[in-house]
Amino acid sequence: MKVYDKLVRDRIPEIIEASGKSCEIEVVSDDVALKYLYKKLNEEVVELLEDKNLDEICDVMEVLFAIGEKYGYSESEVLGRRNEKRLARGGFEENLVLKSVL
């Protein structure tokens, strides 16, 4: 038996059971889930830094959207604010590194 203590995607228990195994889950409050989501974010960022692929980028985004939802923001609100900030301050396409301000 392998022991975990981490937040997983909603369909993971179903996928585990479909493989012929069983699992134990606990449903936690939003406050507790937020703590696990921040741990999950760190885990996913480390995986992105190691693997640098589209799946890892999507995993990081999924966790960020889940964190936003826990604070009451919809995915469209998060993306809308991102676009507002992008219009006002730009993105990161030009690879600018600020070295100093006089």
Give the range of the structural domain holding residue 36, as residue numbers without chain letter: 28-87
Segment 6-24, tens digit of pLDDT: 999 999 999 999 999 999 9
Segment 38-49, tens digit of pLDDT: 999 999 999 999
In a domain, 15, yes or no: no
- Please, which residues have CB within 8 angstroms of residue 47's CB and are 6 or more apart in sequence? 56, 59
Cα separation, 17 vs 25, in Å, equals 12
Count of domains forming the chain: 1
In a domain, 95, yes or no: no
pTM confidence score: 0.91
In a domain, 10, yes or no: no
In a domain, 59, yes or no: yes
- List C-alpha distances in Å: 61 to 27, 64, 68: 22, 5, 10
